[in-house]
Structure 1
């Protein structure tokens, strides 16, 4: 049976990442052709500033070289611009006349630099800063000319200015606002940034609007709307980007600012999809790499015929190193949009931290000078956490102690949002994989390999692990004699590698025995099903991949000496039974429901237990009735049956997602710690996410409780 033809128009980061995901999910489903308009293979556009600054070569920012395409059986066509799609005959048509047939087609054509209608913008000596050719233009100019002007005081403009300084040019940054990076920073942090950049040699022209570009045969300077002028031999435009949507208009595909897609990245044309900077989802076109990779994962599942959660949008954030200064910004940071919840300024160290709130929830954050808390704060934003989380010592302490910040991260916290790499994967790369530096970790896990914003935290985690802070991880016992890897190392590797089954994971991870043994084979079967498609997020765990759950229900709660607070525990018990039936577990689980002391079910000595009280329902975790006998830990007290059920099943779901295969619930509770258990499960957002993930595997029982 012949394969379907998949054509990807665009050889950038979003489209190729989608193909990478697809090859992991369904490696033999498609005959793939990728068409790019640049002569280069896939490279990391975000790191162009490093190339311009002289820190990195073009080869070093190449993500997939030409050999990778050959090894994967992908036909790569470079230097061709697809101008339209014939959706009736299913052909991609290039400006050169080349036609490529498809069964499915992905538009990943990215965006272009916004070129404002300034007279003289087409003169020689004027360039954008978007691709390798733009870098080469600036290299050539710096060899002959001395004065440069960068129009745009945002992230890209400041990175371009830093690179031009490194090339020996005098640089003036022209910005139309009253302070730098006005979309990501407030005035305080922007003024701190400006002070640092002036010390590096940059000059600034603030609140200036360019009226025209001066010069006869080539650019010689700028004239502003207030009549003033600035001499310049090279002018770099960095004032934003525009989604490339003309191809959609030429093909009869719906487009607004970008190519309109639904939650499954489908366009208005059958079998045509869009992903990345060219796509407009729910009115938003994203220009950051993490949302583009999230879209790519959803689309890969759609193309592979896998059931997937729809793409619901992303929280835009920036975590970058601007001209040597660490900057993090996310969410609503302007005073008119949200109120200030926390403000810290350290003039000696040159650090600044501002967290905003709206409706009592964390709404946004700015970090300047030290971004090690960026991952934690982004997590609070995604969970819509209550501002009370800001009282936690590790967060309030900020980056004053990078070791403490690294230690405070949960093992399953995503550190690199772009590539979905968690803390435990990074620690294991050091403890088990021999990594000694952040660059070593990048090679092993891809953490910090895209935007590079998480590199400070990656470096902190490397130092943390090398100092022995990883504790038991560095001394983890292997799963069995077939491997030197422990459970945490295998889980982290599987989460990163997304292997299709246990056999492929064994081959990739260097198993000593080809087929393993019953111990490791069972564990890897569970882990590959549980973690292979996570991309850094907790995933659905298919049923029948591990042990099962048993539910014990005490006698009906209508009679007895404690009748005054007796509950209909059979109703609640059956609701839990429906929620857990058919689901896989790392280890056999017993859940028990008792309306009170007169209706025994063993709630206090079961893996998970609910016990009725005059105040409502007590929820316990980690009990054990065999040797060693353990009394369950009280997780929380809930007033209603519905909220008690939610708390209980969220606890079970977290156990399923984070326990080691073969690890009893009581051992998991002791390893996780009661404080962390309560902090997580009593957080409404976290609890809801866990309930939703369990509910996505079967018809939820919560509503019927």
Structure 2
């Protein structure tokens, strides 16, 4: 059996480990257009800030690939997939045959329609190659504008600010709006402003202005002009579906997969930021571009490529990030379309940057936002994942920030004791 994995993010690592759990002998080939093995993408801001070195970025040690008998083809781009003859064709012209194929092609930075966006001085910030390019020019930069509102934008801003560079984030609505409510977002912004970052939220971007020689002059918005030597565009990512579309796989907002991570072709699977997979809480199929889900999807794809027939129970929207010492966690359903369907409980301490928002539906915890005090995040996750019912006393205990395992159902505790 020959397993071919296109992409070398965390989903690929999960797939290798999943395959090897059921097949220790089949050949595994990973093809990546990046020049380095899998690394921790959230760490590239620390690499840019010179807080860590390149050799600390890898997600698994080099021996991981040798121990798992993985043939690596780095710096190689797949031009097409041919399901008819079970092969992938590289841009070099080389054809690689597969028995089972995993598309873990991730996402590419979105390119918003902004005048002046094309040309030198405008960068993305999703790969180590982007960080390397920025490290080459960072010493000549005094001011930066970051366009975007999500995690990538905030981490890029942090990387530059740590180098003493003036940073302004330009946001069309508000930061982290897919995970934070307005109160949580404002609290994080206030904390970041105290640490030197600047924010311009709720603005429209007119254009990136340039000098006559093509260099960046700054960003023109409906609330004024912001001078900058360099612009980072971090306006989200779009799933890399070109290979899937050309191979005539079913696609929607991502590559459509079933509960076994299989695509519309019996021998092709998909996982990670490119896959439209099941959500644990809602049962809907959606793209959830976060690391824990990508790894888990890759692992289940690996199981099933090796014939295990194991059903993926679904991903969970979850983010955990620290901004200049302020810890934040969001789990489950945190942005609600109709709050009247939910019971919401909030504890807030603006002076100490502490915010706890618990969201219940039908006496089940379905989501939470934690700012500052995140010690109970693991417990909240267990309640959300397992959909434990809670009475009024149980909800109050959760609101104290000190939930007890005594609230777990007896059968759940017994199952844990019997399956350590």
Q: TM-score, normalised by structure 1?
A: 0.55
CA 24–332 in structure 1, closer or farther in 2 if over 3 Å, else same: closer
Deviation at 1:303, TM superposition (A): 2.2
C-alpha change, 1:393 and 1:32, in structure 2 (3 Å) is: same
The equivalent of 2:280 in structure 1 is none
Indicate conservation of the 8 Å contact 1:42/1:65, yes or no.
no
Q: Measure, in 2, the Cα distance between the counterparts of 1:206 and 1:59.
A: 37
Supply the RMSD in Å over aligned alpha carbons: 2.4
The structural deviation recorded for 1:392 is 6.3
Q: 1:569-615 deviations in whole A, cap 9, x for unaligned? A: xxxxxxxxxxxxxxxxxxxxxxxxxxxxxxxxxxxxxxxxxxxxxxx
Q: What is the aligned partner in structure 2 of residue 313 from structure 1?
A: 314
Contact 2:7 2:105 (C-alpha < 8 Å) held by counterparts: yes
Equivalence for 2:287:
285
1:148 corresponds to 2:151: no
1:303 aligned onto 2:305 = yes
Deviates more, 1:334-343 or 1:161-170: 334-343
Is structure 2 residue 379 aligned with structure 1 residue 376? yes
CA-CA distance at 1:389 after TM superposition: 6.7
- Residue 57 of structure 1 and its aligned partner are, at CA, apart by 2.1
Aligned to 2:190: 195
Match of 1:342 among 322, 341, 345: 345
Q: Secondary structure at the match of 1:262?
A: coil
User: Residues of 1 paired with 2:358 and 2:99: CA distance?
Assistant: 48
Partner-residue secondary structure (3-state), 2:185: helix
Conserved 8 A contact 2:15-2:298 = yes
Alignment of structure 1 residues 97-176 onto 2, 5 Å:
97-176=93-172
Please report how far the alpha carbon of residue 117 of structure 1 lies from its aligned counterpart in structure 2 after TM superposition: 1.9
Equivalence for 1:182: 177
Q: How does 1:575-614 map to 2 (within 5 A)?
A: none
Structure 1 Cα separation of the partners of residues 99 and 419 of structure 2:
42
Q: Does residue 361 of structure 2 align to residue 358 of structure 1?
A: yes
Q: Could you tell me whether the CA contact under 8 Å between 2:21 and 2:303 is conserved in 1?
A: no
- Quote how far apart the aligned CAs of 1:292 are: 1.7
Q: Which residue matches 2:59? A: 63
Structure with greater strand share of residues: 2
Any gaps of 5 or more consecutive residues in structure 2?
A: 278-283
Conserved 8 A contact 1:222-1:230: yes
Larger Rg: 1
In the alignment, what sits opposite 1:271? 267
Selected match of 2:417 from 643, 654, 658 = 658
Q: Which has the bigger relative contact order, CA under 8 A and spacing at least 6?
A: 2
Cα 1:199–1:272 change in 2 (3 A) is: same
The separation in 2 between residues aligned to 1:268 and 1:333, in whole angstroms, is 32
Kept in 2: contact 1:277–1:286 (CA 8 A) = yes
Counterpart Cα distance in 1 of 2:76 and 2:272: 19
Post-superposition shift, 1:654?
Answer: 5.6
Is this contact kept in 2: 1:158–1:323, CA < 8 A?
A: no
Match of 1:322 in 2: 323
Q: 1:660 and 1:245 mapped to 2: Cα distance?
A: 40
Shift of 1:73: 2.0
Could you tell me how far apart the structure 2 residues matched to 1:5 and 1:659 are?
37
- Give the CA deviation at 1:393: 7.0
The within-5 A match list for 1:542-553 is none
Count of residues paired in the alignment: 409
Please tell me whether the aligned partners of residues 14 and 297 of structure 2 are also in contact (alpha carbons under 8 angstroms): no
Alignment check: 8 A CA contact 1:139 1:167 kept: no
1:63 to partner: Cα distance: 1.8
TM-score normalised over the length of structure 2: 0.90
